[in-house]
């Protein structure tokens, strides 16, 4: 039973134990809570759980096929694009949505596509390189 004003973020983390989705600001500013909703990246702290009825929700737990990592996950590891890891699930899902829209984004397009996701550790450079490498693998 979902409370009428329950946030998608809370239902994912507290009810479904999908704790890969993180809460940073809780106000739509940091992107740590990013998930895919029908393929589009959204801040799950700003979405009511009831709003997603009948829609597809993908969290970081759903990115790999459980046999191998998604190419973005592997690229983040290979390129050392993770430090504390708090921003990583949201970064991965924003990057996933970007690559679904654009097969070969430029560096600027990657930066723009990830502009809603804050990272306090990496300086972004390795994250951008990782997303570029993931595109290259696919092309």
Residues that bind ligand FES (CB under 6 A): 23-26, 28-33, 43, 45, 82-87, 119-122
CB of 86 to ligand FES, least distance (A): 5
Residue with smaller CB distance to ligand FES, 20 or 139: 20
Q: What are phi and psi of 56, to 5 degrees?
A: -90, 130
Q: In three state form, how does the secondary structure of 65-108 look?
A: CCCCCCHHHHHHHHCCCCCCCCCHHHHHHHHHHHHHHCCCCCHH
106 token code pair: 């430029």
CB of 95 to ligand FES, least distance (A): 13
CB of 91 to ligand FES, least distance (A): 7
Residue with smaller CB distance to ligand FES, 14 or 138: 14
Residue with smaller CB distance to ligand FES, 39 or 85: 85
CB of 79 to ligand FES, least distance (A): 12
Residue with smaller CB distance to ligand FES, 67 or 133: 133
Q: What is the DSSP string of 15-80?
A: IS--TTS--SSSSSSS-TTEEEETTEEEEGGGSBGGGGTTS-EE-GGGTS-SSS--HHHHHHHHTT
């Amino acid at each position: 039973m979902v409370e009428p004003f329950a946030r998608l973020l809370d239902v994912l983390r507290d009810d479904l134990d999908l704790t890969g989705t993180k809460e940073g600001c809780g106000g739509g500013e940091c992107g740590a809570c990013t998930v895919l909703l029908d393929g589009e990246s959204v801040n799950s702290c700003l979405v009511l759980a009831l709003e997603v009825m009948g829609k597809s929700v993908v969290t970081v737990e759903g990115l790999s096929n459980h046999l191998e990592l998604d190419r973005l996950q592997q690229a983040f590891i290979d390129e050392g694009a993770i430090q504390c890891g708090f921003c990583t699930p949201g970064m991965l899902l924003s990057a996933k949505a970007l690559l679904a829209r654009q097969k070969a984004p430029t560096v600027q397009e990657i930066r723009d596509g990830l502009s809603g996701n804050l990272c306090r550790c990496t300086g972004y450079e390795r994250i951008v390189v990782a997303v570029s490498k993931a595109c290259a693998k696919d092309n």
